[in-house]
């Protein structure tokens, strides 16, 4: 009999896990608590480590993605507009790593993955939460919010940063707030003054804040995300914020950046939560359950790799599930292998994301040192070969 994976959560991690399972010859059933499969959020950058996986799964060619390949990453000083450093993306990145560096909208990636899982025959259940699961016996025994019992061979815990299932398995409390707030906006390129349109990924670094913008939707929209420390504490996920939300916390910005902020009609605001870097394989697998994505390793978005790590998790899960599709390897052993192969890399990305935040937001001597290092180290400081080479 074919083995079956039960997936809790229909975000990027859950959809990719279900797709990986089907490609490994498993059946897959996915439960999403929201009444419909849809993704909020805004832009995403995907490095070659991630786009390589999507290409292998045939998702990268889906026109729903409307991905954009920015030619350069430019790092600039938010107060005077100076360029601090740049990294060639586009063809250079593809030549170096064999896969593109792309910018796209999260909803578009979600839609393409949803189409792929539907075509692959994943059974989808919207409007149902996985409330609890026993994962230590001969099978996974789960209960949904409708009170139904579901049995499967393995469970993918992909229920995001607020993961209730992680609490049942690890009991290590909620992911704490970082004190940083993300403000996000999506602008139509046509509505922007020509001087503010750019094909590049631009990262503006200022004291205790930074802002990143890049084109998405095949270049028709500009995604803007600003991160500020200690901004009026946002407690709710994805709340509306006033047009001047950033000006209130970020002073002395250069004219070009101020003009960009003035072009933003309204922001959505997210408090940023993370966890300490993964401490060991026990945080990524437990019995017949594997943890993926933000449920396993929520991170600050300063290396732009949260969704990337979710996709890598799913790819690794696919590998270990392939090994036990024929029942030669038992499921808990396969998931242990998954966790062993993933935890150190995820922890490294979490650490690097935190470090980037400190460097991006630097003041005083640290800032002067950063700027000098950028001038002398150039591209080598912005490229991350150990990450982009992938798994």
Ligand X SMILES: Cc1cc2nc3c(=O)[nH]c(=O)nc-3n(C[C@H](O)[C@H](O)[C@H](O)COP(=O)(O)OP(=O)(O)OC[C@H]3O[C@@H](n4cnc5c(N)ncnc54)[C@H](O)[C@@H]3O)c2cc1C
Q: Which is nearer to ligand X, 250 or 324 (CB)?
A: 250
Token pair 């899982």 in the structure block, residue:
117
For 281-312, b/e burial (b = at least 16 CB within 10 A) is: bebbbbbbbbbbbbbbbbbbbbbbbbbbbbbb
Q: How far is the CB of 347 from ligand X (least distance, A)?
A: 15
Q: Which is nearer to ligand X, 287 or 293 (CB)?
A: 293
Q: Which is nearer to ligand X, 160 or 287 (CB)?
A: 160
Q: Which is nearer to ligand X, 143 or 373 (CB)?
A: 143
Q: Out of 97, 101, 214, 338, pick the active-site residue.
A: 214
- Please count the CA atoms within 13 angstroms of the CA of 279 that sit on its side-chain side: 5
Could you tell me how far CA 149 lies from the centroid of its own chain? 31
For 237-264, b/e burial (b = at least 16 CB within 10 A) is: eeeebeeebbeebbeebbeebeebbebb
In angstroms, the CA 214 to CA 201 distance is 5
Q: How far is the CB of 231 from ligand X (least distance, A)?
A: 13
Query: In whole angstroms, how large is the CA radius of gyration of the chain?
Result: 21
Q: 33: which DSSP letter?
A: S
What residues does 77 pair with on adjacent strands? 205
Q: How far is the CB of 84 from ligand X (least distance, A)?
A: 20
User: What does the binding site for ligand X look like in residue numbers (CB under 6 A)?
Assistant: 8-14, 31-34, 41, 44-45, 129-130, 158-161, 164-165, 182, 184, 225, 270, 293-295, 301, 304-308, 310
In angstroms, the CA 17 to CA 341 distance is 16
Q: How far is the CB of 156 from ligand X (least distance, A)?
A: 10
Q: Which is nearer to ligand X, 224 or 335 (CB)?
A: 224
In angstroms, the CA 89 to CA 357 distance is 21
Alpha helices in the chain, H assignment, sequence order: 12-23, 48-56, 90-97, 106-120, 164-169, 255-262, 293-296, 306-323, 331-360, 364-377, 379-382, 385-388
Q: How far is the CB of 322 from ligand X (least distance, A)?
A: 22
In angstroms, the CA 199 to CA 88 distance is 12
Question: Do β-strands 201-206 and 72-77 pair in parallel, antiparallel, or remain unpaired?
Answer: parallel
- Is position 338 annotated as part of the catalytic site? no
CB 152 within 8 A of CB 140: yes
Q: Which is nearer to ligand X, 306 or 357 (CB)?
A: 306
What residues does 289 pair with on adjacent strands? 155, 286
What residues does 240 pair with on adjacent strands? 268
Q: Which is nearer to ligand X, 10 or 324 (CB)?
A: 10
Q: How far is the CB of 55 from ligand X (least distance, A)?
A: 16
What residues does 221 pair with on adjacent strands? 188, 216
Q: Which is nearer to ligand X, 57 or 324 (CB)?
A: 57
Find the distance separating the first CA and the last CA of the chain, reported in whole Å.
31
Determine the angle formed by the axes of helices 306-323 and 331-360, rounding to 10 degrees: 160
In angstroms, the CA 356 to CA 362 distance is 10
Q: How far is the CB of 15 from ligand X (least distance, A)?
A: 8
Q: How far is the CB of 12 from ligand X (least distance, A)?
A: 4
Residue numbers annotated as active site: 214
């Amino acid at each position: 009999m074919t083995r079956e994976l039960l997936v809790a959560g229909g975000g990027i991690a859950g959809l990719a896990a279900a797709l990986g399972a089907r490609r490994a010859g498993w059946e897959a059933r996915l439960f999403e608590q929201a009444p419909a499969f849809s993704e909020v959020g805004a832009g995403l950058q995907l490095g070659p480590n991630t786009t390589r996986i999507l290409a292998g799964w045939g998702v990268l060619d889906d026109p729903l993605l409307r991905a954009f390949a920015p030619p350069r990453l430019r790092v600039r000083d938010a107060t005077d507009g100076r360029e601090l450093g740049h990294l060639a993306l586009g063809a250079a990145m593809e030549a170096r790593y064999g896969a593109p560096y792309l910018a796209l909208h999260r909803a578009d990636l979600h839609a393409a993955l949803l189409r792929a899982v539907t075509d692959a025959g994943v059974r989808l259940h919207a409007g149902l939460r996985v409330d609890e699961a026993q994962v230590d016996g001969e099978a996974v025994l789960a209960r949904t919010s409708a009170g139904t019992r579901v049995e499967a061979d393995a469970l993918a815990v992909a229920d995001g940063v607020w993961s209730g299932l992680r609490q049942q398995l690890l009991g290590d409390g909620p992911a704490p707030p970082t004190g940083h707030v993300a403000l996000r906006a999506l602008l139509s390129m046509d509505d922007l003054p020509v001087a503010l349109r750019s094909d590049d990924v631009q990262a503006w670094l200022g004291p205790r804040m930074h802002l990143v913008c890049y084109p998405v939707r095949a270049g028709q929209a500009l995604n803007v995300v600003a991160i500020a420390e200690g901004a009026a504490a946002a407690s709710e996920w994805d709340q509306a914020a006033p047009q001047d939300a950033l000006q209130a916390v970020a002073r002395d910005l250069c004219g070009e950046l101020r003009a960009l902020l003035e072009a933003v009609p309204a922001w959505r605001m997210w408090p940023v939560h993370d966890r300490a870097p993964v401490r060991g394989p026990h945080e990524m697998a437990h019995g017949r359950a594997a943890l993926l994505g933000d449920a396993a390793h929520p991170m600050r978005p300063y290396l732009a790799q949260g969704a990337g790590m979710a996709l890598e998790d799913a790819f690794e899960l696919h590998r270990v599930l392939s090994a036990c599709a024929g029942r030669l390897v038992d499921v808990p052993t396969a998931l242990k292998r998954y966790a062993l192969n993933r935890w150190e890399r995820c922890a490294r990305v979490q650490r690097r994301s935190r470090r980037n935040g400190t460097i991006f937001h630097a003041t005083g001597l640290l800032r002067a040192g950063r700027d000098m290092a950028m001038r002398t180290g150039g591209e080598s400081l912005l490229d991350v070969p150990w990450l982009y080479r992938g798994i």
